[in-house]
Amino acid sequence: VMGAQQRIQDAADREVHLNKQEINFVEHGDWADFELHEEYQNESGTRQEVVYYITLPESAVITGVWLGNSENRDERFAYRVSPRGAAQQVYRQEVRRNVDPALVEQIGPRQYRVRIFPIEPKTLGDDEREFGLRSSFVKQGPPLHLWLTWSVMANQNSWTLPYLAEKRNVYWDEKTTRTVNGNSFARDADTWLPTSLNATSQITPVTHRFDFPDGQSVVAQPLASTAIPQLPSNLKIAVVVDRSRSMQPLARDVQNALAQFKTISERGNVVDVYLTAPKFRGENATRVPIRELDSNALTYFGGQNPAELLQQFGNLRGAENYDAIFVLTDGTGYALGANDSKPASVNIPLWFVHLGGKFPLGYDDATLEQIQSTGGGVTGNLQDALNRFAVAQALQRGDSFVDAPRDAVVEYADDYVWLTMSTQDAQTRFAETASDENFAPFATRRLILTNVQRERASLAQLNTLDELHALAKQYSIVSPYSSMIVLVNAIQQKTLDELEKQGDRFQREVEEVGQTQNPFNVTAVPEPHEYLLMALGVALVVWYARKRRQQKTV
């Protein structure tokens, strides 16, 4: 069944051809700026929307998006950084009106959604032949151009490119031209972007710093894997096991992860395992000490999204206190769509471990907030999550593996320790590293997440969210609370101005993975160019009818 569904989806996706793909990047030592330029051509007779779900390294940051009717950069339509709910609402509204928008949203710690509309369809044209006769022909619609920019830290001696988790309506083939920094390269027909690109020279990781005007600084310091501290022996850990049917192929990975936690418990730590229970399973979720668990007896049935997993944990937890929560799951949760379940509120680091290395397309905003506000994160394997948790624990204990005050907020991601501290401390402890304005986008991403942790109790208040958004807007980045939207006229801009004043400007709806713009869902009042197309269609019908009558009378 899944194979048939995939073949149907593959056929449906062959609506828009990717004519051209250009990747350009500029290296700055151990980090680089990237730009992706793509040209789309509609192969159908209706307007189409292109949707990409992509995954980036966690410390990477998206810095810009543009639309254009040609390759002329001077004529591009620029983006605007807007509260996530207002941006989503105006995008949907303008799509219904058949007017160009583009939208980039962050829907997970590493996950983003890119939406482009409309790629104009083929139309019916006609020309004059001999003896006053006219003939009709199919005319290609104009191509649409997209530019997307981001910054990323080096991965040893290479640059990790966005991973395409899902797409809609667009396809590429041997006719698609591809270049990297102006040089052509060949890819197989199934690949959107290369996994990574080699650096042009040997990369040496260095420390970076950026000082914000408000007296805060962010420092990124390399940390070798051999320098990662060990977990202490006095922890209490909760392990939530997703027992959905989709976890069956990962049963061995679950057993290996639980064996690793059992080893951790044998070092003096307490580990409780929470076994979730999807609807219709016929049993309730349970909690069991890991020493009493038989991982070989686990069975998998039904389906649950991340919010449901956390809700069941919260119901079972009672008054138990933990130092961290690790959720063992796969990458299918977001595909289950919207759900009424609200994730349990936790105040300890929450880690989603996506066994098998496949991340979900995203998370609902409530679950994403729980992950980021607790100082947790998402990983593709358990060891990465344990390493990142160990770094945070060591700094809290005052270990001197990095030169940072104990009140600094820490994140270990992509082989760097990201520290947020006062500028006074940064100038004292990292005096040899000057503040670098070019590093501001990376630092802003980290400062926003730091403030999410610090202001966790007030994240429901608009003034707190406005402050987070102000940072993203000032330094021009996409964040979990701020999206980038491209608008093409003053009416759209005015509409967005009004929506940004509304009390629900940060409220975003969960959208189905397969949900794209319905080309037949148009407004009752056509746009001016639509009147022209309708008139042309009527004229063709009238001409054809007259021609038929003339032929009958001859």
Could you report the per-residue pLDDT of 358-387, keeping only the tens digit for each?
A: 999 999 999 999 999 999 999 999 999 999
Q: What is the pLDDT of residue 518?
A: 53
Tens digits of per-residue pLDDT, 97-144?
777 789 999 999 999 999 999 999 988 766 666 555 555 667 889 999
The whole-number average pLDDT for the span 74-96 is: 94
- Structure tokens that stand for 544 in this block: 């054809």
- Sequence-separated (6 or more) residues with CB below 8 Å from residue 201: 27
pLDDT-based confidence at 303, cuts 50/70/90?
confident
Q: What is the pLDDT of residue 343?
A: 84
Q: What is the pLDDT of residue 546?
A: 53
Q: What is the pLDDT of residue 338?
A: 56
Q: What is the pLDDT of residue 282?
A: 76
3-state secondary structure of 307: helix
Using alpha carbons, list the distances in angstroms from residue 271 to 202, 261, 289, 377, 379.
Answer: 43, 7, 6, 19, 20
Can you give the C-alpha Rg of the chain in angstroms? 26
Catalogue the E-assigned strands of 13-120: 16-27, 31-42, 48-55, 61-68, 79-83, 101-106, 111-119
3-state secondary structure of 508: coil
In whole angstroms, what is the distance from residue 128 CA to residue 136 CA?
9
pLDDT-based confidence at 192, cuts 50/70/90?
very high
Q: What is the pLDDT of residue 534?
A: 47
In whole angstroms, what is the distance from residue 180 CA to residue 162 CA?
14
Q: What is the pLDDT of residue 138?
A: 74
CA atoms within 13 A on the CB side of 110: 27
CA atoms within 13 A on the CB side of 208: 24
- In contact, 67 and 77? CB cutoff 8 Å: yes
In whole angstroms, what is the distance from residue 392 CA to residue 50 CA?
40
Percentage of the chain exceeding pLDDT 90: 75
Specify burial of residue 220 (Cβ count, 10 A radius: 0-12, 13-18, 19+). buried
In whole angstroms, what is the distance from residue 51 CA to residue 249 CA?
28
3-state secondary structure of 126: strand
What mean pLDDT value characterizes the chain? Answer: 89
**Residues forming beta bridges with residue 484, ordered by sequence position:** 81, 104
